[in-house]
Amino acid sequence: MGKPTGFMEIPRAERRYKPASERIQHYREFTLVPSDAEMSQQGARCMDCGIPYCHNGCP
């Protein structure tokens, strides 16, 4: 379980994208993958409440 108050203490990280000038040159993935540390920090925001509301939009 993450930190119960983590969603209030840790700001939500928005998805990051490659610049449009790069995206128009290929059809590959254009979202930037967060580092392991960033993913771990965002995972700490989970309250493990058992209600998958956050699958639609995390608080």
Assess contact for 31 and 17: CB atoms under 8 A.
yes
What are the residue ranges spanned by the domains of the chain? 6-55
| Residue 55 confidence (pLDDT) | 67
Q: Tell me the per-residue pLDDT of 1-59, one tens digit each, with 9 for 90 and over.
A: 567 787 888 898 898 999 999 999 999 889 999 999 999 888 888 777 777 676 666 55
| Residue 45 confidence (pLDDT) | 82
Joined tokens for residue 41: 């920090």
| Residue 20 confidence (pLDDT) | 93
| Residue 59 confidence (pLDDT) | 56
Assess contact for 47 and 4: CB atoms under 8 A.
yes
CA distance 32 to 15: 8
